[in-house]
Structure 1
Amino acid sequence: MANVFSIGSLNMDIVYQVSALPKPGETVQSLSRKLFPGGKGANQAVAAARSGGSVRMIGAVGSDSYGESLIGALQADGIRTDTVLPTEGDTGTAFITVDAHAENHIVLAAGANGGLSPSDIPEWIWGEADLIMLQNEIPWKVNRHVLEIARRRGIPVIMNAAPAMQMEEDAFPLIPILAVNETELETLSGQPVRETADARAAAASLIGRGVDNVLVTMGSQGSLWVSRGEDEIWSPAFRVEPVDTTAAGDTFIGAFATEFASGVPTSQALRFASAAAAIAVTREGAQISIPRREEIVPFIN
């Protein structure tokens, strides 16, 4: 069983269901308000665990009740949480508005996630991790620290560049697998991404800047894997009726991470991840929507 480490955010998601997303300056009435455990780091950890991985979470929570709930939710999925640091102050939160078409707007409040530092990453992890997942909801200096050491140690890292942000040019050669959606790919490549051909060109440009592999998730269109010196892989999406797309990308990455770290061929790992994400978007919430392996395998077949 692969040892997958998620180093990243833990948030309490406060989800408002609306008929239509508000325009600038507009006030709309919520149809419902619900709380769900979330955060890209924690979501990906749950997806990896439910896909069959042995998972550890590294991050931080505040001293409020949200922090206790988030740790409890991870432990319920068998995720090791002794490396989730309790800190004074607020736990991270995400305010999410979801419309009738399952599209969403998300506003983050970093809370404890913003206080994580490189010194909080234990030295012993480098001898245990088979694969590490990173995201941009913790300080970049932490991600850069992990990327540098993991590169020296030969540990695969999936760097999910979400939310989208610019990176130093010398950071690209540190990244074994860069996972992005169309918006994040546009931000990093500086090229417009409207269709598959655009995604191929933009991903290739990042390979040219030093990234080993680029994984592009394109929602209902599918996913694209572009690798240095190898043929690209296109994996179509499964057709479903979406309810809430909040954790679709995180579900995809976590499921892919477990399969990839276990030595499954990339094309097979992509298809498994596509199935997991397809199931997730038919349900409300972030972690609560993520399927288990016993649901994903029959869905594929």
Structure 2
Amino acid sequence: MTAKILLVGSVMMDLILRCERAPEPSESVLGHDYRNAPGGKGSNAAVAAARAGAQVAAYASVGNDSNGDYLIERWQEAGIDTTHTLRRDGNTGFVAITLEDNGQNRLIIFPGVNMETPPDKLEEALDAGADAILLQFEIPDATNARAIELANERGIITVLDAGPARTDGLHGLPPVTVLSPNETETKALVGIYPTDEASCLEAAQKLQEKNGCKYVLLKLGERGSFVYGEGIAQLVPPFQIENVDPTAAGDAFTGAFTKAFVETGDILEAARYGNAAGALTCTKLGAQPSVPTAEEIDALLARG
């Protein structure tokens, strides 16, 4: 089967600023170069799912501006259905990213019209059919809550990327199928930074108690991922790569994982697939331009 995935989430224009190091307060530094690229946590995950072979549609908001035009075109090139993508007066979401020579990145997010994505048109988008919904914290809480409620009623898988980091991010949200924060997002939600298997387990248990989700899937960067739920508590090892730019690695993980989870039903196999997609994303510059294809993921998996 081919996974049918609906993005209910964000889309942004990224500005990537490359420099030796980020400036200290009141300091100026010379940069190497800068460039724009399509991004946004939701959009990155949607593109990752599409490139991995899923059938993807987007319920999201972009501005009536040149950035909005550009981002819609990039989605359509990626094969993403934009029938339910909304155009709004105002600014398309924007992210300023400093990327240092050591691979460290820092992001400033301007949500723009992402925060005007309404809950009242979700049923129409879901009526087109979906096996899974991708969610993040870059759209209104009411829209996320309604999407999860509708998905639970219809037996649709929900995968919540719990970013950006928020201490109150889970407040008022119905239970999701898979709750997937990274380390800093985990710390924000339950006060535990997962550094080893024991702290991963403790954090995952608290996250499950807080949301009632079926699974917790911790994204651990260069340490891989950790799966908890339904009798599973297991680290899934990473793939060794040369880190060029980690931007969107977690988003690529989420999109590829969701595609694999829908198609296989095996959360450990899907997490390994996500690890491979996230690792490959780190080997190139930019967010969506670095997201791998199914063929690239399969080749890395074959190498072990």
Provide TM-score, normalisation by structure 1. Answer: 0.95
- 1:94 aligned counterpart, secondary structure: strand
Alignment of 1:1-301 (within 5 A): 1-126=2-127, 128-165=129-166, 166-167=168-169, 169-171=171-173, 174-209=175-210, 210-227=212-229, 229-301=230-302
Residue 246 of structure 1 contacts residue 286 of structure 1 at CA under 8 Å; is this kept in 2?
yes
Residue 176 of structure 2 contacts residue 213 of structure 2 at CA under 8 Å; is this kept in 1?
yes
- 1:118 aligned counterpart, secondary structure: coil
**1:123-148 C-alpha deviation (Å, 9 max, x unpaired):** 35156110000011111111111112
CA RMSD of aligned residues (A): 1.5
**1:198-225 C-alpha deviation (Å, 9 max, x unpaired):** 1211111122232221100101111001
Residue 46 of structure 1 contacts residue 79 of structure 1 at CA under 8 Å; is this kept in 2?
yes
Q: Which runs of 5+ in 2 are unaligned?
A: none
State the alpha-carbon separation in 2 of the partners of residues 244 and 159 from structure 1.
Answer: 23
State the alpha-carbon separation in 2 of the partners of residues 205 and 163 from structure 1.
Answer: 19
- 2:94 aligned counterpart, secondary structure: strand
- 2:213 aligned counterpart, secondary structure: coil
- 2:31 aligned counterpart, secondary structure: coil
Residue 84 of structure 2 contacts residue 125 of structure 2 at CA under 8 Å; is this kept in 1?
no
**1:36-79 C-alpha deviation (Å, 9 max, x unpaired):** 01111111110000111000011011111111110111111111
Write out the 4+ residue segments of structure 1 that deviate beyond 3 Å after TM superposition: 167-170
State the alpha-carbon separation in 2 of the partners of residues 28 and 275 from structure 1.
Answer: 35
Residue 12 of structure 1 contacts residue 36 of structure 1 at CA under 8 Å; is this kept in 2?
yes
1:115 CA displacement: 1.2
State the alpha-carbon separation in 2 of the partners of residues 222 and 5 from structure 1.
Answer: 25
Provide TM-score, normalisation by structure 2. Answer: 0.94
State the alpha-carbon separation in 1 of the partners of residues 8 and 80 from structure 2.
Answer: 13
1:168 CA displacement: 5.2
Aligned CA distance change for structure 1 residues 23 and 262 (closer, same or farther; 3 Å): same
- 1:97 aligned counterpart, secondary structure: strand
Task: Give the fraction of aligned pairs with identical amino acids, expressed as a percent.
Answer: 36
- 2:247 aligned counterpart, secondary structure: coil
Residue 276 of structure 1 contacts residue 290 of structure 1 at CA under 8 Å; is this kept in 2?
yes
Residue 117 of structure 1 contacts residue 142 of structure 1 at CA under 8 Å; is this kept in 2?
yes
1:155 CA displacement: 1.2
State the alpha-carbon separation in 2 of the partners of residues 201 and 44 from structure 1.
Answer: 27
- 1:262 aligned counterpart, secondary structure: helix
Aligned CA distance change for structure 1 residues 169 and 109 (closer, same or farther; 3 Å): closer
**1:178-217 C-alpha deviation (Å, 9 max, x unpaired):** 0110111111112243333212111111222322211001
